[in-house]
Structure 1
Amino acid sequence: MTDARALSPIVVGFDGSADSMRALDWALAEAVLRNAPVDLCHVWNQPNSPGQLGRSDDAPRASAQAVLAEGSRYAAEHTPSVQVRAHLSFGSAAHVLVLAARDAALLVVGGRGASGFGNLQIGSVSAHVVRHADCPVVVVRDIAVRGVCGGAHGGRIVVGIDGSAGCETAVAFAFEEAARRGAAVYAVHAFDQASAQTTTYLEETELKRLRQDAQDAFSGLLTPQADKYPDLAVSLQLVHGGPAPALIEASADAALLVLGSHGHGRFAMARLGSTSHAVLHHAPCPVAVVRGDR
């Protein structure tokens, strides 16, 4: 099924660093799946505005143009079927990327950058675009590839669920991505510490009843998307303990880990708290953060 953003561009931040090269690889593979163009963006963090550039700015400007040309050449050589549009911008990388992605299907960034994305580290630029971009944001770290590219078929898509309204948006995104790849959907719900402590005082029969209630509730949350994509394999895991370790472990061999950014309670994603920061730092696969207010 084609979503409303299927032919919208995929915006990718590029600075020539290892992480941005992985981000570009992922974006190109995803573009093939979506039949979408790629907007390749390099941000030159120059204190002067473009209209104030003087002769002394020629060297850094030429360097910025060379970085962008490198990315364009790489894309043309490796994925010639994808239309790539190169953009050189000036200013704050975080703000430029958010603006560039206003009408995008996805915004793809590396975990750490250099040059024009010198501050592109988890918790700074990445955290800013995750909070403010009008489209899903995929963060691709250099370590988070393990032979899995964005367009790989098969495998599984892991999605964290907590029962919030924003969670439904993340689940829908996970199913869409799985359908594009012919991948399985693996949903994970982690009971918070308070719940875990409470259950230690309950009888075994009550524990079984509570677990079955949770199983039924979260299975019901997955049902609308499972009905929409009946050919996809879907599974649900309920675990006790911290959500971040559970998600990181579950995504060990995943093609993509999907999180909602306006959850509540057990995943506490509303302010990009400890769970999301830990996952973005340590997940062994690309992480998609999907805002629930779209």
Structure 2
Amino acid sequence: MKQHHVTVGVDGSPESRAAARWGAREAALREVPLRLVHAVDWLISPMAPQPGREAADRWADEALTDAAGDVRRRHPGLEVSTRCLSGRPAAALAAEATDAGLLVLGSRGAGALVGFLIGSVGLSTLVATETPVALVRVSDAPEETDPIRYGEIVLGLDIHEAADKVLAFAFEEADRRGCALRAVHGWKMPGFYQYAPFFDPENEREVGRSVTVMLDDMLMPWRHKFPSVSVTHEAFEGHAGEQLVQAAASADLVVVGRHLRHSPLGAHLGSVAHAVLHHSAAPVAVVAHD
């Protein structure tokens, strides 16, 4: 089946440069074209002076030209195209991502928190598209030299939900990178157990064993489908987001899911995806699923 291209949102910042480089490596791995896009935020009124629009156009052209030149130097054989979008950035990027296999966005690091400061545009784009979205931050680590050594992928799973799209994305990424995949699930005992007068620790251990078996069963069909991928799995007792962040401390990529369902206040990220995005040093791929 023909793979879709990889789209990267660029704006001339160091964060978008990191996203473009990461997206270019991903496109090369997938053997698909790379599309660099810049969304012009037309806060400028139609009645605004023409020089304002001209400056915005020049900025867009420079951001796209610089990013394209950088990735072409790094990947001479990669097909790279650029596109300038008009309209609100979140809506424009989400629309542009419709026919992409992956949308890549840059994000500022959150200082001591290590993870991401997404901002309203990134968050709005993420929840507005069904295309998988990867968030990439500027790394303090030195640039990798060729050939790139791909590390472990960490996958956050909820065993109580169907997540075939999330599983497919994670296994395909591990397969094309030739790296290991570690699946993680966080669980907690029901709240009433802490008030039980005769709490038996064996009940907790039994729940832990059952959860581990369920996690293994969930992964089994994908192990058969991707026999070359080395897979491990862990079920932790505790908050899923916190456990996943700890597991992902040295990961090359973290994969989490988000529901396509909307709340009365609109689409939103779940607590696990939110925690990982705000505290993970590694790139995070968010995959929408039913």
TM-score > 0.5, shorter chain as reference: yes
In the other structure, the counterpart of 2:153 is: 157
Distance in 2, matches of 1:172 and 1:196, equals 36
Partner SS, residue 39 of structure 1: strand
Letter in 2 for 1:38: L
Deviations 1:71-116 (A, max 9, x none): 1111111111111111112221111110111010000001149xxx
- Alpha-carbon spacing, 1:51–1:31, altered in 2? closer, same or farther (3 Å): farther
TM-score normalised according to structure 1 size: 0.84
Q: 1:225 aligned to 2:207?
A: no
Structure 2: how far apart are the matches of 1:196 and 1:240? Answer: 16
Q: Deviations over 1:226-269 (max 9, x none)?
A: 111112111111112222221111111111100010299xxxxx
CA RMSD of aligned residues (A): 3.0
Give the CA deviation at 1:166: 4.6
Superposed, which structure 2 residues align to 1:59-70 within 5 Å?
Answer: 59-70=55-66
Distance (Å, rounded) in 1 between the aligned partners of 2:46 and 2:8: 22
Contact 1:153–1:182 under 8 Å retained in 2: no
1:39 equivalent among 35, 42, 49: 35
Matches within 5 A, 1:51-66: 54-66=50-62
Any stretches of 5+ residues in structure 2 without a counterpart? Answer: 110-115, 262-266
Indicate how the Cα distance of structure 1 residues 285 and 12 shifts in structure 2: closer, same or farther if over 3 A, else same: same
Q: Please state if 1:90 is matched with 2:52.
A: no
* Inter-CA distance 243–145: structure 2 relative to 1 (3 Å threshold): farther
Distance (Å, rounded) in 2 between the aligned partners of 1:80 and 1:50: 40
Structure 2 residue matching 1:237: 3-state secondary structure: strand
Asked whether the equivalents of residues 117 and 278 of structure 2 are also in contact (C-alpha less than 8 Å), the reply is no
Identity %: 33
**d(CA) in 2 for partners of 1:279 and 1:140?**
13
2:202 matched residue in structure 1: 205
Q: Is the 8 A contact 2:208 2:237 kept in 1?
A: no
Counterpart of 1:278, as a letter, is A
> Structure 1: how far apart are the matches of 2:222 and 2:71?
34
Alpha-carbon distance in structure 2 between the residues aligned to 1:193 and 1:123: 34
- TM norm structure 2: 0.85
Alignment of 1:127-146 (within 5 A): 127-143=123-139
Who is 1:116 aligned against? Answer: none
**For residue 170 of structure 2, what is the aligned residue in structure 1?**
174
- For 1:13 and 1:218, the matched residues in 2 are separated by 35
Q: 2:186 aligns with which of 190, 193, 212?
A: 190
Other-structure match for 2:283: 286
What is the distance in 1 between the residues matched to 2:44 and 2:255? 38
Task: Note if contact 2:5-2:101 (Cα within 8 Å) is conserved in structure 1.
Answer: yes
Within 5 Å, give how 1:67-86 maps onto structure 2.
67-86=63-82
How far apart, CA to CA, are the structure 1 residues paired with 2:49 and 2:3? 36
Distance change in 2, residues 1:65/1:197 (3 Å) = farther
Rounded to whole Å, the distance in 2 between the matches of 1:195 and 1:169 is 31
Residue 238 of structure 2 aligns with an amino acid whose one-letter code is G
Separation in 2, partners of 1:196, 1:56 = 61
Shift in Å at residue 55 of structure 1? Answer: 4.9
Q: Could you say if the C-alpha distance between residues 25 and 51 of structure 1 is closer, same or farther in structure 2, counting changes exceeding 3 Å?
A: farther
Decide whether the 8 Å contact of 2:258 with 2:270 is kept in 1: no
**Aligned-partner Cα distance in 1 for 2:286–2:149:** 21
